[in-house]
Amino acid sequence: MTDAVIATDNVSKTNLLGLTQKGLEEFFVSIGEKKFRAQQIMKWIHHFGVSDFDEMTNISKVLREKLKQVAEVRAPEIISSDFSTDGTRKWVVRVESGSSVEMVFIPDGKRGTLCVSSQAGCALDCSFCSTGKQGFNSDLTVAEIIGQVWIAARSFGSIPATKERAITNVVLMGMGEPLLNFDNVIDSMNLMMDDFGYGLSKRRVTLSTSGVVPAMRKMIGLTDVSLAVSLHAPTDELRDILVPINRKYPIRELKQAIADYMGSLSDRARVVTIEYTLLAGVNDQPEHAKALVKVLKDVPCKLNLIPFNPFPHSGYERPSNNAVRRFQTLMQEAGLNTTVRKTRGDDIDAACGQLVGQVEDKTRRSARYQALRENQNEVVQVEQAG
């Protein structure tokens, strides 16, 4: 083996899976090649799911050998894949930090929605979300975010160039707060919409945020994906408890950020999706519905009600079907387009709010949370005994 080869082997290879079209063009220029190679490679990677340079037959053998020395196409490692009785699929994948994250595919007729993660764990600690109880471990790279789409598309044999795709929609609603991993999420979403990537329309890529107001405004001009906002409470007092970031960016500021972003879109027919998790006895009563009507009366939106999906030590309960229907009816009578999200994949812990994965909880938040709940239960038991 020559010294040149040894030196090359010691250099970390560029993962082409995580490069946008502009990034790939810059990469090829840096190795003395033409920019148009970027589109060729993107089609092989994202349209055909190819990771082996030898299979990229429309580029020269010389270039293929060069790419082997300086580049790779590497997705996260698949740890497990689970199938629900309702057709939902959940993958657990290991990322570079050593943590594991989850992604979920939800089929619904001709529509197939892939829910991807943007972080390992989450720093926001929403009280009803199991992921938040694990604490935050790491941001995902572009390759780790787009790699989830790549893995799912390959698993279905869904090659956009030759057949109908299984994945019609992608939502960043998995583990993590997407806007706290801003640059990597923006690049990933733009790759999803790139014709040489996955060719998804801006209406079919949705970013869900708990309300990181400065980052919502920062999106303006950088992307025009659909927006979903996790509201979950009609007052600041209650939202401060359920979604702690509200203490920094209260509902009034959040509504203005929604208006700013939606107003920047050329497609004025689009509306924001408001997500509202219904918690029995906490935010599902008629007075909460009436308060929510007031909050949303000047927000062009569709309201997605999500019955709580239980997880151990949450301290919350799922509302009755009657309570869910009553809440929906009150919102519809007020003129709001309101749907109830079907619970999918709860038998494999893939339902909304249940994603946990195998994240190493360096903050020990999960243990503290469980201890708090156990202490609260003991207090209740003592009071009842007395």
pLDDT, tens only, 232-254: 999 999 999 999 999 999 999 99
Residues 115, 122, 126, 352: which is the catalytic one? 352
Examine the pLDDT at 40 and tell me if it is beyond 80: yes
pLDDT computed for residue 282 by the predictor: 95
pLDDT computed for residue 158 by the predictor: 59
Domain 77-371 has CATH 3.20.20.70: yes
Examine the pLDDT at 30 and tell me if it is beyond 90: yes
| Domain layout of the chain by residue ranges | 9-72, 77-371
Domains 9-72 and 77-371 agree in fold = no
Average of pLDDT values for 319-341? 96
pLDDT computed for residue 278 by the predictor: 97
pLDDT computed for residue 196 by the predictor: 95
Examine the pLDDT at 277 and tell me if it is beyond 60: yes
Give this prediction's pTM.
Answer: 0.86
Average confidence score pLDDT of the chain: 86
pLDDT computed for residue 311 by the predictor: 76
Q: Is 352 a catalytic residue?
A: yes
pLDDT computed for residue 121 by the predictor: 85
Domain 9-72 has CATH 1.10.150.530: yes
pLDDT band at 211 (very low <50, low <70, confident <90, very high): very high
Q: Is 115 a catalytic residue?
A: no
Q: How far apart are CA 186 and CA 42, in angstroms?
A: 18
pLDDT band at 160 (very low <50, low <70, confident <90, very high): low
Examine the pLDDT at 365 and tell me if it is beyond 70: no
Average of pLDDT values for 39-43? 97
Residues 102, 144, 177, 275: which is the catalytic one? 102
pLDDT computed for residue 110 by the predictor: 87
Least confident residue range of 42-51, 121-130, 188-197, 280-289:
121-130
Give per-residue burial for 297-335: e unless 16+ CB within 10 Å, then b. Answer: eebebebbbbbbbebeebebebbeeebbebbbebbeebe
pLDDT band at 363 (very low <50, low <70, confident <90, very high): very low
Q: How far apart are CA 267 and CA 204, in angstroms?
A: 13
